[in-house]
């Protein structure tokens, strides 16, 4: 049996589309569990119009705690996690069922976000395409990340590794932390046929804040377990590109005082371009040259943001401990 677990918080505007996208897929032996984290809108009233099990948390504790609660009350041996701000594309629920039936030794599999996000605009489209290409490009079909916006895991494995760390109160890096523990026990596979459309951040200012916060928390996690990722936006090649962004910008500021810094600047820019070549070519083919050029500038700015966040993370980690 598949238990679809969805944490919600003030998610009323997303729920009709999400639940309709699930229930129009005919899969036998499936339950949908909504775990509401004390929403202040009409999320509960909306979801009760659908054949779902509703769990209302006693107090707001964050998505990690909500997901754990949903798993505890799930009847299925397969847990399919979805975020509340997604649409499930046709065939995805069936794909989850078929994947575990056709691969009986597999215990954990994630899907991907489609390149077309739920919200329109340059920034969300860039982020959707950026995440997509960095997941589907993973070699061997095994990944080091687990994305609960579209990820399935056998209940036994989830419980064996201890579930989500409930000390994470927001939608932070609790998914990366869980993936570390899963990888110590088993493999996480990627199935690109499991697809959702996701609501990404709307604009540059939101992207900068989101990247900064998650980069700080990811650095704290890295300093704790010293593990890199082989897929997604946190791969080493993206780290190299971010370092080149920051150092090239710094060297650019030095040129008036140190003219020779221009050579350093152009060297770093070349490395930056080479590091980003795979995803840039993908975006150029999918969305056109102008989009890809704009994406390069956005990536450059976010790279600077990430390195500033990294430095803050390095300084703040001892205080956090």
As a whole number of angstroms, the distance between CA 149 and CA 131 comes to 13
Beta bridge partners of 198: 86
Question: Is the domain defined by 2-202 classed in CATH 2.60.120.10?
Answer: no
| Neighbouring residues of 64: CB distance < 8 A, sequence distance ≥ 6 | 164, 165, 166, 167, 168, 169, 174
Q: In the prediction, which pLDDT does 299 show?
A: 97
Residue 271: C-alpha distances to residues 6, 244, 289 (Å): 41, 7, 20
Q: In the prediction, which pLDDT does 125 show?
A: 98
Inter-residue contact 154 to 121 (CB < 8 Å): no
As a whole number of angstroms, the distance between CA 168 and CA 182 comes to 17
> Which of 172, 148, 147, 145 lies closest to 230 in space, CA to CA?
145
Residue with tokens 């390095």: 314
Inter-residue contact 129 to 283 (CB < 8 Å): yes
As a whole number of angstroms, the distance between CA 15 and CA 306 comes to 32
As a whole number of angstroms, the distance between CA 129 and CA 143 comes to 18
Regions of the chain with pLDDT less than 50: none
Tens digits of residue pLDDT in 138-184:
877 889 999 899 999 999 999 999 999 999 887 789 999 999 999 99
Number of H helices, E strands in the chain: 12, 9
Task: Return the SS3 of 190.
Answer: strand
Return the sign of the alpha-carbon dihedral for residues 65, 162, 177, 153.
negative
List the Cα angle 89/91/96 in 5-degree steps.
105
Name the token pair of 191: 């199935």
> Which of 8, 179, 3, 200 lies closest to 117 in space, CA to CA?
200
Name the token pair of 36: 């509401």
Domain extent listing, the chain: 2-202, 236-320
């Amino acid at each position: 049996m598949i238990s679809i677990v969805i944490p919600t918080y003030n998610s009323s505007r997303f729920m009709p589309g999400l639940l309709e996208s699930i229930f129009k897929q005919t899969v036998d032996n499936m339950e949908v569990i909504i775990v509401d984290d004390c929403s202040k809108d009409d999320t509960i009233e909306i979801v009760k119009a659908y054949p779902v099990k509703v769990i209302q948390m006693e107090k707001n504790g964050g998505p990690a705690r909500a997901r754990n609660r949903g798993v505890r009350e799930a009847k299925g041996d397969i847990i399919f996690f979805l975020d509340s701000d997604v649409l499930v594309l046709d065939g995805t629920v069936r794909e989850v069922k078929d994947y575990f039936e056709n691969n009986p030794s597999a215990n954990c599999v994630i899907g991907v976000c489609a390149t077309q996000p739920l919200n329109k605009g340059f920034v969300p489209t860039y982020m959707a395409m950026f995440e997509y290409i960095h997941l589907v490009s993973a070699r061997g079909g095994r990944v080091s990340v687990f994305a609960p916006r579209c990820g399935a895991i056998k209940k036994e494995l989830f419980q064996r590794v201890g579930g989500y760390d409930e000390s994470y109160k927001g939608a932070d890096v609790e998914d990366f932390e869980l993936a570390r523990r899963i990888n110590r026990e088993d493999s996480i596979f990627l199935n690109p046929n499991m697809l959702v459309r996701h609501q990404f951040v709307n604009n540059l200012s939101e992207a900068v804040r989101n990247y900064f916060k998650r980069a700080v928390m990811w650095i704290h996690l890295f300093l704790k377990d010293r593990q890199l990722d082989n897929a997604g936006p946190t791969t080493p090649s993206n780290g190299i590109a971010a370092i080149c962004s920051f150092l090239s910008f710094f060297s650019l500021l030095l040129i008036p005082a140190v003219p020779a810094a221009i050579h350093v600047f152009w060297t770093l820019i070349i490395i930056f371009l080479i590091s980003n070549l795979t995803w840039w070519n993908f975006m150029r083919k999918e969305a056109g040259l102008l989009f890809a050029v704009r994406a390069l500038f956005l990536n450059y700015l976010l790279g600077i943001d990430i390195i500033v966040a990294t430095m803050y993370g390095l300084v703040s980690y001892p205080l956090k401990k």
